[in-house]
Amino acid sequence: MEEFQGNIFSGELNETDHSFYLTSVKHLQTQSNLSEANIQQLYNHLLTQSKQEDTYTITLNDQIPLLLKKEEMQQLLEDLSIIKEKL
């Protein structure tokens, strides 16, 4: 596994099963395994939302809402793009 430290997402890339083990979002700890399809869906959804909205809310651990500003949305899109390339 390869460590990934992005601006918004951090975790481990597993090239063998094409997944990403998410360990933190905006420096808040979490544990979630995202498949390549999940990453692509999140990327597509966020790309659409970034063209329509100035902020975006994601939920961490189904409990903690995190507000992403426009700049953070772009940073997350960059993180997801890098993750997609490496998987």
Percent of the chain at pLDDT > 90 equals 93
CA neighbor of 68 nearest in space, from 84, 82, 55, 77: 55
pLDDT at position 34 is: 97
pLDDT at position 61 is: 85
CA neighbor of 33 nearest in space, from 47, 49, 3, 13: 13
pLDDT at position 62 is: 87
Residue range of the domain that includes 54: 2-86
What mean pLDDT is reported for the chain?
A: 95
Question: How does pLDDT run across 36-83, given as a tens digit for each residue?
Answer: 999 999 999 999 999 999 999 999 988 999 999 999 999 999 999 999
Domain count for the chain, please give it: 1
The helix/strand/coil state of 29 is: strand
pLDDT at position 40 is: 97
DSSP H or E stretch at residue 64: strand 64-69
